Amino acid sequence: MADTQLSADERELLLAKANEEIYKQNFELSLRNKTLSILKILYSISISTLDVNEVSQQIVDTIAAQMNFPAVLISLVDPDGQSLRPSAITKSESIQNAISIINKPLSELIIPLDYRNNLVVNAVKTNERQITSNLLDILDPLVPQDPADAIAKIVNINTLIIYPLSINNKAIGAMTLGISKEIDDLSRGEKETLDQLIDVVSIAIDRARLHQNLKLANDHLKELDKLKDEFVSLASHELRTPMTAIKGYVWMVQNGKAGDITDTAKKYLEIVYSSTERLIHLVNDMLDISRIESGRFQLHPETFDFSELVTQIQTEFSAKASEHQMTWHTDIDPSQISINADKDKILQILENLVGNAFKFTPDQGFVSLQATVKDNFLRVSISDSGRGIAAEDIPKLFTKFTRLGEGLPTLAKPGTGLGLYLSKQFVELHHGQVFVESELNKGSTFTFTIPLV
């Protein structure tokens, strides 16, 4: 056997060597474990939704605590690319004392990016790790040599390692580690650990930056949206005031408040009146759209009997039906349907769909409205024997300013092009749906559903 041939001294030496090897491997293993646990913490920091400074602070605190370093500093390139600005430094009493020597808050310790005497700038510019034992190399030109030495002493820093932080080879800043050991006393494992952390630190900071920029952009958009909403409100107020005067005074003349007028004048005034009404509706529709699209539209639900609206619509359109010799009937089953919804908006949907049916149906045609209840939904269908809609036009129906009314007989008043779009929005705000079935030259059926409660 081999060991019988070894002397006692030789055996001891071998044993010591084996022990040392085991100790080394254990140490490396514990470092790997530590690396993994730091990476895990950094990962959880990276997926948080904190801002850049908060993320930087958590990173420096984690690395300093886990690696037992007296100081860790993260500096980031300013958005204008002109300078480096600290975003976080380890929080400790000695660091506080050190900063008080410089006599400036951390965020004001700005170093111009063209100052190549500074090693942090160098790390960013060359995208390569820098090492020094002189603290001045990272503080230059903020302080001269003496205070730099004093700070190094207070914080107990003998070596500084500066890692560039970069994303897609673009420098975003640097992380400076202030350590008590000399550089040669760092183990290979410790150096490897540090190398592995840097990428995760870069990603965490980049992500926080993106998140922060996105949040700023989002806040800005919300502010703009609010301004737009206010503008639309005030602009519509200004538009409505003269329209109200035109509508009001035309109504006075039409109703004999200014004495008798000729039939021709009456006819002309009807055109003025209906044109003004169109403008007023357009303003109302635009206001609704502005509110819907900014998510600020509020329904005002109440419980009512839907048959009231059917009666109202029946009456509202009966004059038009007899004027054009059209068949117009409504049918509701059961005869009363209790529903909780925004009554004004439901009426607006009905007026729009029935109005369209009349508009696109020639004289002597028919228009009908059928209301029923199915699976706790009110289901209303409006059918006509009009000119129908071409299959390729159906997808365009519910978009803004779509007008498929070209070539209509002159009796048809042009719409605002917003009616169907708004009707669909109102139905969907009630959590209902709109459907359309149509065949060219045969007629169309528009159906909408609204939950009863």
Partner 1 sequence: MTNSQKRILVVEDDVALRDLYVQILTDSSFQVESVADGQEAFEAMKKGGYDLVLLDIILPKVDGLTILEKLSTEAPPEKPNFHVVVLSNLGQDEAISKAMSLGAEGYLIKSDYTPGQVVEQVNHFLEMGDSH
315 binds partner 1 (CB under 8 A): no
- The 3-class SS string of the chain reads CHHHHCCHHHHHHHHHHHHHHHHHHHHHHHHHHHHHHHHHHHHHHHCCCCCHHHHHHHHHHHHHHHHCCCEEEEEEECCCCCEEEEEEECCCHHHHHHHHHHCCCHHHCCEECCCCCCHHHHHHHHCCCEEECCCHHHHCCCCCHHHHHHHHHHHCCCEEEEEEEEECCEEEEEEEEEECCCHHHCCHHHHHHHHHHHHHHHHHHHHHHHHHHHHHHHHHHHHHHHHHHHHHHHHHHHHHHHHHHHHHHHHHHHCCECECCCHHHHHHHHHHHHHHHHHHHHHHHHHHHHHHHCCCCCCCCEEEEHHHHHHHHHHHHHHHHHHCCCEEEEEEECCCCEEEECHHHHHHHHHHHHHHHHHCCCCCCEEEEEEEEECCEEEEEEEECCCCCCHHHHHHCCCCCCCCCCCCCCCCCCCCCCHHHHHHHHHHHCCCEEEEEEECCCEEEEEEEEECC
4 binds partner 1 (CB under 8 A): no
Q: Is 141 or 248 the residue whose CB approaches partner 1 more closely? A: 248
Candidates 94, 100, 104, 106; CA nearest to 152 is 94
274 binds partner 1 (CB under 8 A): no
Closest CB 257 distance from partner 1, rounded Å: 7
**Contact set for partner 1, span 295-314 (CB under 8 A):** 296, 298
Q: Is 304 or 398 the residue whose CB approaches partner 1 more closely? A: 304
Binding residue (CB under 8 A) for partner 1 from 243, 404, 429, 452: 243
Q: Which amino acid is at 176?
A: T
231 binds partner 1 (CB under 8 A): no
Binding residue (CB under 8 A) for partner 1 from 18, 22, 245, 261: 245
Closest CB 234 distance from partner 1, rounded Å: 8
Binding residue (CB under 8 A) for partner 1 from 19, 145, 218, 233: 233
Q: Is 78 or 344 the residue whose CB approaches partner 1 more closely? A: 344
Closest CB 291 distance from partner 1, rounded Å: 7
Closest CB 273 distance from partner 1, rounded Å: 9
Cα distance between residue 330 and residue 309, in whole Å: 11
36 binds partner 1 (CB under 8 A): no
Binding residue (CB under 8 A) for partner 1 from 236, 356, 416, 438: 236
Stretch that binds partner 1, among 98-106, 250-258, 329-337, 442-450 (CB under 8 A): 250-258
Closest CB 364 distance from partner 1, rounded Å: 32
Stretch that binds partner 1, among 3-11, 154-162, 196-204, 283-291 (CB under 8 A): 283-291
Q: Is 287 or 434 the residue whose CB approaches partner 1 more closely? A: 287
Binding residue (CB under 8 A) for partner 1 from 280, 408, 436, 452: 280
Q: For residue 19, how far is the Cα from the chain centroid?
A: 60
Stretch that binds partner 1, among 68-76, 230-238, 377-385, 395-403 (CB under 8 A): 230-238
227 binds partner 1 (CB under 8 A): no
**Contact set for partner 1, span 339-368 (CB under 8 A):** none
Closest CB 330 distance from partner 1, rounded Å: 25
Closest CB 280 distance from partner 1, rounded Å: 5
Cα distance between residue 291 and residue 288, in whole Å: 5
Binding residue (CB under 8 A) for partner 1 from 60, 152, 283, 422: 283
Closest CB 292 distance from partner 1, rounded Å: 12
Residues that bind partner 1 (CB under 8 A): 233-234, 236-237, 240-241, 243-245, 247-249, 251-252, 255, 257, 280, 283-284, 287, 291, 296, 298
